[in-house]
Amino acid sequence: MNTITRKIKVTPDGWVKIQAPAELENQEVDVIIVPRRPPAAERVAAWKRLCEEIQSLPSTKEITDDDIRKEIEDYRAGR
């Protein structure tokens, strides 16, 4: 079985339209939609922005290493 790959964009209203080769006319086919991942550099930049945003939240400045250590100990002790 030959696999045919097409790169297309989903329309704003959610539709995908492709034209199959003539030899597939009147045949039943399986269609698999695989979203494209952004490039690695873009994902890394987004992750760094998220981390910076979280670290700048006021509540994170109130947490000390001792608070974290106690939380871990409580969790491990089942408290």
Model-wide pTM > 0.75: no
Domain range list for the chain: 36-77
Quote the pLDDT of residue 63.
Answer: 83
Quote the pLDDT of residue 64.
Answer: 86
Computed from CA positions of residues 6, 10, 14, 17, in that sequence, does the dihedral angle turn out positive or negative? negative
Compute the C-alpha angle 38/43/44, nearest 5°. Answer: 150
User: Rounded to an integer, what distance in angstroms lies between the CA atom of residue 65 and that of residue 79?
Assistant: 19
Compute the C-alpha angle 36/39/41, nearest 5°. Answer: 155
Quote the pLDDT of residue 39.
Answer: 92
Quote the pLDDT of residue 28.
Answer: 93
Quote the pLDDT of residue 1.
Answer: 65
**Consecutive 10-residue runs of the chain (79 residues): their mean pLDDT?**
86 92 91 90 96 86 87 93
